[in-house]
Amino acid sequence: MINFLNFLKPSVDAFHAQEEIKKSLITSGFIELEENKKWKFQGGGKYFVVRDDAALIAFTLPSNLEKLNLELSYNIVAAHLDSPTFKLKPNFNLDKMGYGMLNTEVYGGPILNTWFDRPLGISGRVIVKTPTGVKSILVNLDKPMCVIPNCSIHYNHELNTGYKYNPQLDLIPLFKDRNSNVDLYSIISKKYKLKNDNIISSDLYLTNLDRGCICGADDSFIIAPQIDNLECSYAILEAIKDNNPSEEKVNVGAFFNSEEIGSSTYNGAGSGFLQSILERISLSLGYKIIDHRVILANSFMISADNAQGFHPNYSHLYDPTNQVYLNGGIVIKSAARGSYTTNALSLAIFKEICDRCGAKYQYNTNRSDIRGGSTLGAISLSQVSIPSIDIGLAQVAMHSAMETAGAYDLAELIKALKEFYNTNIKMLSSNEYKLI
């Protein structure tokens, strides 16, 4: 769990989370490929592709590329790197009654009141001019830069009785006082040794400077920002770095952006990024398109995104027989409305994998009268249609500025994903699979 907290510390947004994954993969011998170039592989090779600074797909190849046949398959695990926060608008400077504010808009679905009265940093990327065009540079002002001050209880007696926040009026962060002439781009330029007028545009977000801790009487919980969904992302990273090459499968770890806003972006699960990379792998290995379709039919995907753990203060909100608990193991998520990709067949396959390695698991559904969330799993299937299951780890206070999860569950997920990457799943018929 300490290693996860160390991963979380610099992963203040999707851009920086991708950068941390990239660094870790390179240290483990993975080679970066570019989408706009042809690829040439080596047996047992380990590779990754980055898209738009905030999405990454890593994969490992069979050791002997000369013996490939139509028994090949893809073992895929997918997660997302983004979390709810606030994004700065293009014209973000806002002079409000003599104070310098930052004009922001809500990104995703945060629990709004958890962002008040916290020292907040600013991170993301800026796009700068170069002699030949433009370049993206990741930036992280990891010190208290602004704050969203609450209204005094003396002036708003409804704060504790159900006050409805207005994002444009109540959630604009305070950046500087009336006597300050400092400018955000100037601060960024000074830190990163840029010319201020070279910054053309930016994707900047408010970030929680409290990067988490282990807590509880017996250290059984973790409190941190962005547990949804950096916890699952970290598990995929650790699993794909530690798997043995197989003659009959390609292991894939997909890390997307934009899940919290619907995934329909250039770097989201709905973009076709995964579809494109899988097809290019098959073609680069010498397969034809029709062969690629056969390979996909043998493949399997795990959509890994955290789940709503049982909260004893709100017990009436949970299903009576499908509650999941922190430190209860991996959560297998199901929904009759199809918001999760799990069905009886994919659930059985995943259970077999967990049983083989001794990983704990539990079942989750929503109350029948409460509509739950969704994941990138169903969106990915609209691009790459293969058998799939939705899983995650239990947490409470999902989408809060500080979320809480079980300290022991992450090890269970890493163990199960390693077993998945070391398992060959073969379709014998439309209703029968063999696990080798």
Same domain, 90 and 75: no
pLDDT in tens, 30-57: 999 999 999 999 999 999 999 999 999 9
Check whether 401 has a pLDDT greater than 80.
yes
Q: Which of 208, 236, 268 is the last residue of a domain?
A: 208
- At residue 183, the pLDDT reads 94
Q: Which of 11-15, 156-160, 411-415 has the lowest mean pLDDT?
A: 156-160
Q: What is the pLDDT, as a whole number, of residue 210?
A: 98
Q: Say if 213 falls within a structural domain.
A: no
275 and 382 belong to one structural domain: yes
pLDDT in tens, 222-270: 999 999 999 999 999 999 999 777 778 999 999 999 999 999 999 999 9
Mean pLDDT within 273-291? 96
CA 175 vs CA 45, 99, 115, 145, 207: distances in Å: 48, 8, 15, 7, 14
Q: Report pLDDT digits (tens) over 292-326.
A: 999 999 999 999 999 999 999 999 999 999 999 99
Q: Is residue 159 a part of any domain in this protein?
A: yes
Specify if 144 maps to a domain: yes
Quick one: pLDDT at residue 67?
80
Band (179; pLDDT cuts 50, 70, 90): confident
Number of domains the chain contains? 2
In this prediction, what percent of the chain has a pLDDT beyond 90? 89
pLDDT of residue 248: 86
- Position 134 scores a pLDDT of 97
Please give the pLDDT value at position 44.
93
pLDDT reading at 281 higher than 80: yes
> The domain that contains 300 carries what CATH number?
3.40.630.10
CATH of the domain at 110: 2.30.250.10
Do 233 and 186 share a structural domain?
Answer: no
Q: Are residues 311 and 420 in the same domain?
A: yes
Tell me whether residue 297 is exposed, middle or buried, using C-beta atoms within 10 angstroms of its C-beta: 0 to 12, 13 to 18, 19 or more. middle
Q: Is 381's pLDDT higher than 90?
A: no
**Confidence at residue 107, expressed as pLDDT on a 0 to 100 scale:** 98
**pLDDT for residue 189 is more than 80:** yes
**Residues 280, 427: one domain?**
yes
pLDDT tens-digit profile of 91-125? 999 999 999 999 999 999 999 999 999 999 999 99
pLDDT at 409: 98
What distance in Å separates the CA atoms of residue 316 and residue 67, rounded to the nearest whole number? 57
Structural domain ending residue among the three candidates 175, 208, 241: 208
The answer to the question of residue 204 being in a domain is yes
Q: What pLDDT score was predicted for residue 178? A: 86
* Structure confidence at residue 192 (pLDDT): 97
Tell me the average pLDDT of the chain. Answer: 95
- Residue 431 — very low, low, confident or very high, per pLDDT cuts 50/70/90? confident
Contact 366, 335 (CB under 8 A): yes
Please say which residue of 147, 182, 208 terminates a domain: 208
Residues 376 and 413 in one domain: yes
Q: Are 51 and 142 in the same domain? A: no
What is the per-residue pLDDT for 423?
Answer: 94
Q: Is the pLDDT of residue 371 over 90?
A: no
Asked if the structure places residue 93 within a domain, the reply is yes
Average pLDDT over residues 71-96: 96
Pair 425, 330 in one domain: yes
pLDDT of 246 reads 72
Does any domain span residue 126? yes
Domain of residue 290, residue span: 2-83+225-435
Tell me: do 189 and 338 sit in the same domain.
no
The verdict on residue 217 lying in a domain is no
Is this prediction's pTM over 0.95?
A: yes
Tell me, yes or no, whether 69 and 30 share the same domain.
Answer: yes
- Model confidence band, residue 372 (pLDDT cutoffs 50, 70, 90): confident
Are 68 and 159 in the same domain?
no
154 with 284, same domain: the answer is no
Whether 263 maps to a domain, the answer reads yes
